[in-house]
Structure 1
C-alpha cells in the first residue's frame, strides 16, 4: 500500500506528457531492459530502441513499443525519435571515438526531433579530473558531446553494479562454489549500487524535469569484499565468499570469451583503481549523497537487492532460517 501511494505521489509530481513514450536506448540489453521495465512500472509508456526485433520478444510482451535502429545509423535514430519528448541515452562501451560518434548521432536525432530533455546514463562513475584511463576518457568525451548539443540533460552514473553478480560466469561460480570473484581486492571498499536504482534515478529526474545535474548513484554502505559477501549470504540464506580475482587471470578469461585484446581494455579501469587507491575511494567507495533533483531517493541495500533476485541465484523464494 505504501509503495502504491509513493508511485501515485510521484506521478502527481510528474512534468512529463504521459501520453507520449520515453525513448530508451540499448533496450535489449541489461541496463536498457531495466530502464524499460522500471518505466512501465511507474506508469510510463516506453519506446525501446533495439537493433534486432527478433531478440526483443520479452519487451513486446511487456507492452513496450519497439523501434528498430542502430546508433551508427542516424536515419534510423531520427525515425525512432519521431514524436518523442524525452529519452534515456546510453551508448555501448567501446573505443572512445566510436562511443562519441554514436552519442553524436543520437544527439543529432534528438535535435531534429525536438526532444525536450534526456538523461545520459553512463556505464560507470568517472574520475572528477582528467586522466588517461580509456573508459574515463570516453565517458568525459560523451558528456562533453552532450553539453555541446545545447539540449537539457542530466547525468546518472553508478559506482559498481551489484548486477555483476548476475553475469553468467559469476552466477555459475556463486551457485556451484559459493564464491564471488570480481577483479577487485577484498580490501577495496565499494558502495555497491544496482541497475534498478540507476533506472529509478534516471526516470525520477525525467519526471521531475530536473535537468543539469550530475548524479553519482551509490549504495548506502561502503563495504569491503568480506562485508559484501556477508550481505549476499544473508540475502540468499547460505554462505558466499569473496575472492579478489588477479587481474592477469581476469584478462585471460575475458580474452578467451571475447577475443584477444578485449581483456586488457576491460581490465584497464580495475588496474587504474589498483594503482590509484585514493581515486578508487573517491569514485566507488563513498556512500550515496543526495543532490537536488533526487530529493527523497533512497538506495536499495545489498541484502534487499539480493532477496529480490533470489531465483536468479537458484534459491527458493524464502531463505532458510
Structure 2
C-alpha cells in the first residue's frame, strides 16, 4: 500500500506497552510512521496528536478512570484534526462483574458518540501472556482460575497487524469487531500444545482467585488495593466463564484466519 502524505503518521496512545509496541511494529512494517505516545507526551495531548491522520486509542492497563481518559483523548483528537480513530476495548466489555471491562463498555459509548470516524476492536486475552513461564528450563503455566474454561486466545502479533491495517485506511468505519483466535481453547490446551512444541512436560499449577489476591498482598507485588480487587474479580469471572470470543474479526480485517495456538507457540518458543 502506498501511504498518503499525512497517513504516514499514526498515533499510538500507550504505545510503550506490549500492545502498543506490537501495533507500532506492524505500522512500521506496513510503511507507516508510528508515533508512540506515553504518559509524558499526553501532558499536552493536542500537540502530541497534531500531524497524525489516525490514532489508536488505548488506556493503560487497569486505568482508574478509563472513561475520563478516553474522553480527554477524543477531545484532543478533534482539536488536533485527527481524521480516524481505532479504540482498543476488550472482549465482553459489558461484564459488570469486571470493573475494568465495564469501563471499556462505557468508553465504547463515548467513542460512538464522538462524531469521529471510528472502529472499535475487542481483543481477547493474549496467547503471549503465557510465554514467559514457558521459556524457562522448567516450563510451567500458573493460573488462578479453572484451566478448563474457554477463551478465544489471540496472538499479540495478530492484534498489531489488524490495528495497523485499520489505522492505514478507512475500512470498517463504524464497526465493532471481536478479535479472537480461530477456535476456543483452554489453558489446559495451551499447556498441551506447549508440551508438543517443546518436547517436554509443562507443569500446570492452578490456584484460586482468593489465594492469588492473598499472595499478591503478602508478597508486595506492587499492585495497589484497587488493582488487586479488579484483577481478583477478573479471575473469578474467568474461573466460572472463561472469556469466549468470536473468530470473525481477523478474517474480516486481514482476509485470513488468525494464527492458531500451535502456530503461535511454535513461532515464539522455537526461536533460536
Counterpart among 56, 60, 65 of residue 88 in structure 1: 56
Partners of 1:286 and 1:36 in 2: CA distance: 24
Partners of 1:287 and 1:230 in 2: CA distance: 22
* TM-score normalised by the chain length of structure 2: 0.87
Counterpart position of 2:253 = 294
Partners of 2:63 and 2:11 in 1: CA distance: 24
Residue 83 of structure 1, CA deviation: 1.3
Q: CA RMSD in A?
A: 2.5
Q: Deviations over 1:112-166 (max 9, x none)?
A: 01111111012x3125x56353122211111112122111111111121112114
Residue 86 of structure 1, CA deviation: 0.3
Counterpart position of 2:175 = 213
Task: Name the SS of the counterpart of 2:207 in structure 1.
Answer: coil
Partners of 1:132 and 1:172 in 2: CA distance: 28
Partners of 1:240 and 1:302 in 2: CA distance: 15
Counterpart among 260, 265, 275 of residue 230 in structure 2: 265
Partners of 1:267 and 1:130 in 2: CA distance: 14
- Equivalent pair of 2:180/2:249 in contact (CA under 8 Å): no
* TM-score normalised by the chain length of structure 1: 0.75
Partners of 1:237 and 1:306 in 2: CA distance: 12
Q: Deviations over 1:77-128 (max 9, x none)?
A: 11111111101110113355x2111111111110001111111012x3125x
Q: For structure 1, list consecutive stretches of 5 or more residues without a partner in the other structure.
A: 1-10, 52-67
Partners of 2:263 and 2:251 in 1: CA distance: 26
Residue 247 of structure 1, CA deviation: 1.1
* Pair 1:235-2:197 in alignment: yes
What aligned pairs does 1:130-209 form with structure 2 within 5 A after superposition?
131-166=96-131, 171-172=132-133, 175-209=136-170
Task: Name the SS of the counterpart of 2:194 in structure 1.
Answer: helix
Residue 50 of structure 1, CA deviation: 2.4
Structure 1 198/292 Cα, relative in aligned 2: closer, same or farther at 3 Å? closer
Counterpart position of 2:74 = 107
Residue 227 of structure 1, CA deviation: 1.9
Counterpart among 32, 44, 49 of residue 32 in structure 2: 44
Partners of 2:119 and 2:20 in 1: CA distance: 17
Higher relative contact order (CA 8 A, sep 6+): 2
Task: Name the SS of the counterpart of 1:175 in structure 2.
Answer: coil
Residue 26 of structure 1, CA deviation: 1.0
> Which one is further off, 222-231 or 210-219?
222-231
